[in-house]
Amino acid sequence: MSVKIILADDHRIMREGLRALLERDAAIEVIAEADNGRTTVELSRELNPDVVVIDIGMPDLNGIDATRQIVSESPAVKVIALSMHSDRKFVREMLSAGASGYLLKDSAFEELGTALATVINNQTYLSPKIADTVVKDYLGKVEPKESKVSPALTKREREVLQLIAEGKTTKDIAAQLYVSIKTIETHRKQIMDKVGLNSVAELTKYAIREGLTSLE
């Protein structure tokens, strides 16, 4: 029986490269691709894959929140994060969201096969370049300087904040989330009150700093 995989990355070239690599193995089947986090969640819900390989910096819904939704709905699905960031904050947040693996993009092609075998066997895989940092963090040998990603924000507020940071208008966000414009305005005010910021520009910088979106 083949291992069913969904590849999620907003860069088509990255997806194509990973697909070509995976399809060398007859025991692996790439059943779908996605270029944003929201579509990834929908495909996972529809197709019930064994593994989702997802970039953290995804548009519409970032990889951390997408992972949280996927694992919450389907605990048997394994998620492997792809990221350019070795910062322990991103690693910690992704693992807390339910990911079973964390790959740095600069070594993804060399390590993906090993990562898949590891998570399928119900173990956690971390790129060697970040494993030491993570171990020290969990053992308390590294003083945590960062807060968790937007800990005071609700799931919907996190979604709204990411969409604001990506430049979408209030009307566009309301349409995408199937709520009223007034509801989005209320969410925006609540977000600003919680994080202590007063402009869209400040919210955008905050969202980037906290890993909810990227500069790409």
Domain endpoint, select from 109, 138, 167: 138
Which residue pairs from 175-181 have beta carbons closer than 8 angstroms and sit at least 24 positions apart in sequence?
176/60
Q: Give the span between the Cα atoms of 188 and 197, in whole angstroms.
A: 10
Question: 33 near 6, Cβ under 8 Å?
Answer: yes
Residues 122 and 170 in one domain: no
pLDDT one-digit tens code per residue, 73-122: 999 999 999 988 777 788 888 988 999 999 998 888 899 999 999 999 99
Asked, for residue 73, whether it belongs to a domain, the answer is: yes
pLDDT at position 118 is 94
**Number of folded domains that form the chain:** 2
Residue 69 lies in domain: 3-138
The mean pLDDT of 181-191, rounded to a whole number, is 92
Q: For 23, what's the count of Cα atoms within 13 Å in the CB-facing half-sphere?
A: 11
Residues 10 and 47 in one domain: yes
Question: 100 near 119, Cβ under 8 Å?
Answer: yes
pLDDT at position 72 is 94
pLDDT one-digit tens code per residue, 42-69: 999 999 999 999 999 899 999 999 999 9
What region does 86 belong to: left with phi over 0, alpha with psi -120 to 50, or beta? alpha
The pair of three-digit structure tokens given for residue 157, joined into one six-digit string: 């507020």
Residues 62 and 104 in one domain: yes
Asked, for residue 216, whether it belongs to a domain, the answer is: no
Query: What are the helix (H) ranges across the chain?
Result: 12-22, 37-47, 63-73, 88-97, 108-120, 128-138, 155-165, 170-177, 181-195, 200-209
Residues 112 and 171 in one domain: no
The mean pLDDT of 70-75, rounded to a whole number, is 94
Task: Specify the CATH number for the domain of residue 104.
Answer: 3.40.50.2300
Question: 163 near 139, Cβ under 8 Å?
Answer: no
The mean pLDDT of 10-14, rounded to a whole number, is 92
* pLDDT of residue 184 exceeding 70: yes
